[in-house]
Structure 1
Amino acid sequence: MKSVTILGVTGSIGQSALRFLRLHRDKFSLDHISVGCNAEQAVAIAREFNCQSLGVADEACDIDLPDGVKLYRGAQALCEQAAQPVDVVLGAVSGSQGLPAILAAINAGNRVALANKESLVCGGTALLERARAKGVPIIPVDSEHSAMFQCLLAGKREEVHSIILTASGGPFREHSLEQLKSATAKAALNHPNWSMGPKNSLDSATLANKGLELIETCYFFDMAPEDVTVVIHPTSIFHSAVQYCDGSVIAQLGETDMAGAIGYGLSYPDRIETGLNPLDLTALGGLDFYPYDSVRFPAVDLARRAIHLGQSGTLMFNAANEIAGQAFLDGRIGFLDIARHIETALNKGGTKFKAGLDDIVRADAEAKSWCEDWIH
């Protein structure tokens, strides 16, 4: 039996992970789970899987726990649970708030299945160096990075020419610049392919998610930003690919369902059933690819600039995106203003918040406060 902790169990990644675990109750135990505050659902999950503990970020959340389940509360609940000894911790909390818990898991020696890209965007190569020092494998769970991880097993690192990172294009792929000026939050959150939370859905609409994933790709696989090509692939079947020096392109394809990447992340190095149907290539009809439009969606190019600024630049990219994205959802700024604020933040503060790994949380908070002041 492989023991598992899920941080963010009621989110879309967490729910997909539960579906996978239900298929393999003889192979996995779910020992620890965390939520923001969704008491009824969390307690039901704890009962179903006989969890050892439940973490609740909201101090005021009313929880009636089953007998034998330990409760962790407050801001440190995520970190306390991440540090519990298990075989793998699935980090599925969105945003940089998940970084301290990922660090806690690494420091405790727990293998990490990483769905929280912002942890790596903010922590940079220092996070990976800490994991290597602790002997902790980090397996990517984003569908694109899981694809890259799998494709890279086909050759040696020195044989890699470049990486292809795919993007669905989001709900506004065919919108004009004029239409984007009046884009609403409701429309931005209506992703055509994936079921995700508000932040990830909005990031897909602005292509900031591709900016974050570009940064993650460069850090995780030690790639120069110029050697990562972002292409629009509307159907999201071709998850990503690696180009080798001999001209070969090794790609990973699959259904538009996170179960594949999650299952691989939890079961690695083995492959086991995920509940997904075999891909019917004859039913696809074709695979279409297009260049992204840097005028309508400048976030990808801004991410490249952030990488060249270093870890403080990628931390600022993430901070500005989170703050500006929330301001858009709150109705305080327009859709196109999100990228403008990211650009302003990089221009005025791209090297402002340098910090060592153990000070990243403080630097992230300071960068977000600075971005919020700038938006005001």
Structure 2
Amino acid sequence: MSKLGQDLITITQRPDTVFVEGQGAWLTDEGGKRHLDLIQGWAVNSLGHSPSVITQALLAQSLRLLNPSPAYYNRPLLDLAQRLVAVSCFDRVFLASSGAEANEGAVKLARRWGSRMRGGAHEIVSFEQSFHGRTLAMMSASGKPGWGDIYPPMPGGFSKARLNDIASVERALTPASVAVMIELVQGEAGVVVADPGFVRELRALTRERGVLLIADEVQTGVGRCGTAFAYEQYNVEPDLMTLAKGLGGGVPLAALLCKEELNCFEPGDQGGTFCGNPLMAAVGLAVVNEVCRPDFLAEVQARAEQLSQGLQAIAREHGLVGERGLGLLRALVLPVDVAHDVVAAAQALEPVGLLLNAPRPHLIRLMPALNISAAEMDEGLALLRQALRNVLR
């Protein structure tokens, strides 16, 4: 039995591979083997591994200022907030370090608003199969089966509806409801895309009932879906939005954005030792400036179409169920529960391995770098075909 990782607290099962270097779409392990990475830290590395735009931002800022404390302004904090406001429909920004932290901030801000404007309304409606983070409150907000049984008692104030079922949302809403929190694409559930008609009905319903709409764009935001933010493709404006993952391009950075009328935290209500530190904010600014250019997003859309068409062809060749997703967040649906076998077979390919993710036993999830080349995408599809042949034959 391998002793690799014996000094770490066990949180997951990892293959016996130690990665030492990454460039663009590729990772190299200690043995020198290269792997085409279509996971990219679970949609974190928006510009791939070790992009120069990030390393330069880190180096330049690290030589100037790391963290003056959140009690003071710093220039990257101000510049990133201004840039996020400029490219979105929101007016105010709070920077944090993780998606769970941003989502907790959104719930806290919604409840603060509810205490002031809705007579103490505090309940959050979220969705079955959703994923909002691993803090206790966000596990309670999530709809992942079984999570309510791991760390009882769980925080209250969260109810569940079904995605793409507006009647279930209507049933879940009560006079105590203050917000509905939605992932426009449920990534951990297997890349389940919210129906545009449902989202429009949801926005109309929340306005009618006087409750807020929170868009959890931790995985879908910052170019992942082919636009700066996924909500743009639904022709709605949420009241609050959370970002993380791709915002930092590989470093721990998250954001909570809100409309001006929701800017109701009192000093001391929200904060954090590392929130808005200039080192991470400088990276976020570099990433947003790169990703949110129209020409960059046009390339994301082109690669998304290439990936979608390639997965559809693979599904036809192997008699699979099909593919789904939005932009460069996609899933291949298998007819049997062999996704984990396909992931292992893909990494074991020689001389080049392929890194995939299996969020469900019958699903393969793909989250490549947003700047992956057309040739690298074709190579990834070819390696996926080979792995599927090895497992399904």
Q: Which TM-score applies when normalising by structure 1?
A: 0.35
Higher helix share: 1
- The higher relative CO (CA closer than 8 Å, separation ≥ 6) is in 2
Instruction: Look at both structures and tell me which one has the larger radius of gyration over its CA atoms.
Output: 2
